[in-house]
Chain A
Amino acid sequence: MGEKISTRVAYGEALRDFGGDERIVALDADLSTCTMSCYFGEKYPNRFFNIGIAEANMIDMAAGFATTGKIAFCHSFAMFTAGRGYDQVRNSIAYPHLNVKVIGSHAGLTVGEDGATHQCIEDLSLMRTIPGMVVLCPCDANEAREAVKAMIAYDGPCFMRTGRTALETVTDGFSNYKFEIGKGVTLVEGSDVTIIATGLMVQESLKAAELLKAEGINARVIDMHTIKPLDKELVIKAAKETGAIVTAEEHNIIGGLGSAVCEAICDECPIPVVRVGVQDEFGRSGDAGALLKLYGLTPENVAEKAKLAISRKA
């Protein structure tokens, strides 16, 4: 616990470390030193291909590789894989259910000063709506590494989001922590409200739980690293046991984790849900930390919204 490292760096190291499997190939679109696929490229130059600034072509080339039995990882910023490459991912990867892992780095607001054109806050939503896609959003280095291992073992299309900024590693501090695609992890038990978080909002939500605890509120915290398939069982259990939910994500409140959670509970256990995330607007240029504050992606706001959810209990 305590080491600060971005999920993109942890991802790159993991792909390199697990890259001995000869079936693995990696493709990048001229951002390899940002997505950190360069680590794999340095170790396995014969299985690394820079396709240039041509994401659509890269994604479909990865599909071509996968038809021959390869596990093809393709990389760019989330804006350019999930965003620009949506049609390619949908029709040439997901529809034929090919073994391609689409990586979207620099996702969310924390790409910072690059501004709205690069701050993809729609990737989870876009990828989640495609039938058969697995959508992952690890919160820290430990989880990103586990996710890479799981994606290699899983035969099928995946999208994984990574981030630019260095984050505290927290998941290795929980003795019950185990990564499995499609299974959320309850990091903190609680009975008054459940905070379901993904990506860097997991760390912020752990802090929010501390703030709530000081006020005598016991918040459960769930690390939902898999947006799809969503761990509905865990969500419904939390809804039934705590009666109020807050979702927290570095993403538009439309279409991502918050929406997925609402969809899961609306039929079986309708209870108050409050969604913390970007409130359907484009981000400004600026320091990553300042942006998170400006758009309410803070422990304080998560705690406040938890109280709001509790106040709405029937």
Chain B
Amino acid sequence: MDAAKVKSLNLTAAKMRRHALEAIQCANSGHIGGSFSIAEILSVLYFDRMRIDPKNPRWEDRDRFVLSKGHCTPTTYSALALRGFFPVEDLKTFRKIDSNLSGHIEMKHVPGVDMSAGSLGQGLSVATGMALAGKTDGKNYRVYAITGDGEIEEGQIWEAAMAAAHFKLDNLVLFVDNNQLQLDGPVSEVMSVNPIDEKFRAFGWNAINVDGNDVEALSAALDEAEKVSGKPTVLVCHTVKGKGVSIFENGVKWHGGRPTAEEYKTAYAELDARIAELEG
């Protein structure tokens, strides 16, 4: 990946965070931590990797994306808006009663969303069904899904992991957003999930550990995944919850917490500075 592309993807991720922050402030609620930790994954998917057409969001040969951690809408809706699926101004209506941009991701009314989600643990199964449908129809689209690391405590994730390997779904890539925090505290204290890579390998997956906030590393891992035949790939993405704003990073309270006016100002300024730096 050339330096200009890296810079552009990082810039997009920073813009997503700024839009997400604004949206959360307007809505008076929303999930900062997990939204910010996946911004680079979304940037790589929507602005480099995925075969999609914002003018034809239901194009049947498009690549698919399932946000299994359905609460991380702020950056995801921002990615869709920046990619041209709907106007960027709509982001300020997030979570409002007259807006289609609901708290958890919703496919019926939001262009570009491939699956509704919110109840944790279900998205990998849906992605598995999409990938198996692609194989059944002889189509070459690819399917991507993101789960949280806390989310893999759900048993259904492992039902889906078993099935995806059983059906040899090499057109499926799962990102586990391994930011090590969940709502009640550190994942290691609430319910240990490690070793994530070894667990998936034992289920028959190709597992790659990657810095999930590094667009170049993510892109390289996706290249590797595309070369693997006969098994699905999981990217265990080592990320920072709240990434991109110093006062949010690694803070448990930012799972669903709302910044004060002062914190908002600080965060906005930091993101602005980052955007200016990348645009400069």
Contacts and interface: CB of A to CB of B under 8 A. Distances in A.
Interface string A39-73: 00000001101011010111111111111111010
Q: Is the interface of B mostly helix, strand, loop or mixed?
A: helix
Contacts of A164: none
Interface stretch (A30-38, A84-92, A208-216): A84-92
A46 B136 contact: yes
A56 B60 contact: no
Interface residues of A, number: 30
A154 interface: no
Contacts of B107: 67, 96
A97 interface: yes
B125 A52 contact: no
Given A63-B129, A64-B126, A67-B115, A57 B136 contact: no
B130 interface: yes
Contact of A57 (B60, B118, B125, B134): B125
A136 to B, nearest CB: 23
A182 B125 CA distance: 31
A95 interface: yes
B163 A57 contact: yes
Given A67-B114, A68-B134, A62 B162 contact: no
B171 interface: no
A257 B162 CA distance: 38
A91 B122 contact: yes
Given A52-B162, A92-B116, A96-B108, A65 B122 contact: no
B133 interface: yes
A68 B130 contact: yes
A47 B136 contact: yes
B133 A57 contact: no
Contacts of A58: 125
A310 interface: no
B162 A68 contact: no
B278 to A, nearest CB: 35
A63 B126 contact: yes
A62 B115 contact: no
Contacts of A65: 129-130, 132-133
B240 interface: no
Contact of B125 (A64, A72, A95): A64
A224 interface: no
Contacts of A49: 132, 167
B127 interface: yes
A63 B156 CA distance: 14
A121 B166 CA distance: 34
B137 interface: yes
A246 interface: no
Contact of B137 (A59, A68, A96): A68
A64 B127 contact: yes
Interface string B102-121: 00001110000011111101
Contact of A56 (B64, B132, B159): B159
A60 B122 contact: yes
Given A52-B162, A52-B163, A92-B126, A61 B132 contact: yes
A95 B117 CA distance: 9
Nearest to A63: B126
B120 to A, nearest CB: 10
B152 to A, nearest CB: 14
Interface of A: 25, 46-47, 49, 51-52, 54, 56-70, 72, 87-88, 91-92, 95-97
Given A92-B119, A96-B106, 16 more contacts: A52-B166, A54-B159, A54-B162, A54-B163, A56-B121, A57-B159, A57-B162, A57-B163, A63-B125, A64-B126, A64-B132, A66-B129, A67-B115, A91-B118, A91-B119, A96-B116
